[in-house]
């Protein structure tokens, strides 16, 4: 026999009442500030709504009511995780603020009321001047090449003097470089050393220097890495290509072919086509990491960013090679390998 549920059923009315009460509480929490509202209201209530539908579909006796109560508990935990701390002029250091993520983040946090220390590679450069011109008086631009121990120490002394007893709430290690991605045999040792100096040792030294200020405020340390976020210009890639070719031995240059290296550069120049110009997912995740009472250990902002990492880490290597091969042209195969494949086909 078919079972019909009346809207006058006490369990249905109780579920509706719980939904209304929980919704009111959620919106009250979200109304505290605009940041929290974005994090809670849309995703949290969507989850609640979907679970509520499931409950009503399964509603037989009090089974649905029990399930819905569990849904409310889960959503309450989710809301608690997303609860944000107030900005309250919290001080944050951002490295690599000349351009890209760091530049956008400095403007974003300044607009929200943070005291931003924007570390730049060139204090007289266009990026630094833009920050001085467009941001509030709270923002302080600092000359900070993270490969220079002297500049790291000088920045620490300036920030220590300005924050006094409040400490530094956040350090965002954003500075980084994308060297010319090529086969290991092609790259000179200077490229490896520069990459490690900027992308690893510089961040370690900066972190060690500023940890006492973070400890004083019980603040946050955020490290940013990107698969394609710090893009170079065509002039930069041409310069690096020339440097690479000049350091190759004749035998290696013959085996790979100059057309192969040219194809690598062209692939870099076309990479922005596959990148998302909207930086808001990155900015929102950094903000959550700074202010959430329970921040996540890892954030993967951007469309399909997490999926791409999963495929690379957990799927067979041949699938990854096949995917990369489809993105590249025939000239993206070294000259010697193309000759060997042609020979095998003719035999």
Which residues, in sequence order, are CB contacts of 34 under 8 Å at separation 6+? none
Give the pTM. 0.74
DSSP character at residue 91: E
- Note the pLDDT of residue 4: 45
CA distance 21 to 333: 63
How far is it, in rounded angstroms, from Cα 314 to Cα 225? Answer: 20
Q: Can you give the pLDDT at residue 215?
A: 94
The string of DSSP letters for 191-222 reads HHHHHHIIIIIHHHHHHHHHHHHHHHHT-EEE
User: 150-153: long-range contacts (C-beta < 8 A, 24 or more apart)?
Assistant: 152/205, 152/206, 152/209, 153/209
> CB–CB of 293/81 below 8 Å?
yes
Sheet holding 170-173, edge to edge: 140-143, 115-120, 91-94, 170-173, 220-223
* Cα 279 from Cα 93, distance rounded (Å): 19
Q: Spell out where the chain has E strands.
A: 91-94, 115-120, 140-143, 170-173, 220-223
Cα 208 to Cα 211: distance, rounded to the nearest angstrom: 5
Instruction: List the chain pLDDT tens, one digit each, 347 residues.
Output: 444 445 455 655 666 666 666 666 655 555 544 444 444 445 555 555 666 666 656 555 556 666 666 666 666 665 555 678 999 899 999 999 999 899 999 999 999 999 999 999 999 999 999 999 999 999 999 999 999 999 999 999 999 999 988 889 999 999 988 777 788 888 888 888 998 999 999 999 999 999 999 999 999 999 998 766 575 666 777 777 788 888 888 888 888 888 887 777 777 666 666 667 788 889 999 999 999 988 888 888 877 677 777 777 778 888 777 776 666 655 567 776 677 766 677 76
The domains found in the chain, sorted by start residue, are 10-82 (no CATH), 91-227 (3.40.50.720)
């Amino acid at each position: 026999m078919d079972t019909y549920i009346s809207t006058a059923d006490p369990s249905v009315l109780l579920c509706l009442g719980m939904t209304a009460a929980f919704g009111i509480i959620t919106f009250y929490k979200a109304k505290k500030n605009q940041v929290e509202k974005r994090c809670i209201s849309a995703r949290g209530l969507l989850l609640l709504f979907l679970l509520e539908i499931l409950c009503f579909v399964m509603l037989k006796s009090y089974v649905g009511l029990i399930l819905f109560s569990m849904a409310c508990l889960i959503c309450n935990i989710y809301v608690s995780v997303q609860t944000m701390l107030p900005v309250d002029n919290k001080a944050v250091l951002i490295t690599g603020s000349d351009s890209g993520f760091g530049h956008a983040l400095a403007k974003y946090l300044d607009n929200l009321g943070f005291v931003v220390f924007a570390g730049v590679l060139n204090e007289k450069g266009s990026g630094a001047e833009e920050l001085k011109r467009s941001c509030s008086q709270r923002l302080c631009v600092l000359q900070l090449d993270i490969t220079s121990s002297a500049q790291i120490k000088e920045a620490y002394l300036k920030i220590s003097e300005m924050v006094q007893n409040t400490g530094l709430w956040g350090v965002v290690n954003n500075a980084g470089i994308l060297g010319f991605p090529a086969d290991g045999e092609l790259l000179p040792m200077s490229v490896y050393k520069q990459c490690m100096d900027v992308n690893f040792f510089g961040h370690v030294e900066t972190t060690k220097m500023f940890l006492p200020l973070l400890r004083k405020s019980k603040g946050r340390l955020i490290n940013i890495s990107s698969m394609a976020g710090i893009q170079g210009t065509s002039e930069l890639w041409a310069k690096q290509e020339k440097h690479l070719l000049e350091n190759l031995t004749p035998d290696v240059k013959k085996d790979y072919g100059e057309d192969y290296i040219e194809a690598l550069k062209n692939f870099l120049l076309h990479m922005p086509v596959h990148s998302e110009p909207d930086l808001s997912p990155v900015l929102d995740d950094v903000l959550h990491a700074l202010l959430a009472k329970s921040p996540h250990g890892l954030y993967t902002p951007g469309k399909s960013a997490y999926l791409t990492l999963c495929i690379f880490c957990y799927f067979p290597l041949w699938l990854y090679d096949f995917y990369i091969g489809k993105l590249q042209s025939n000239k993206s195969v070294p000259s010697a390998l193309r000759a060997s494949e042609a020979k095998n086909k003719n035999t």
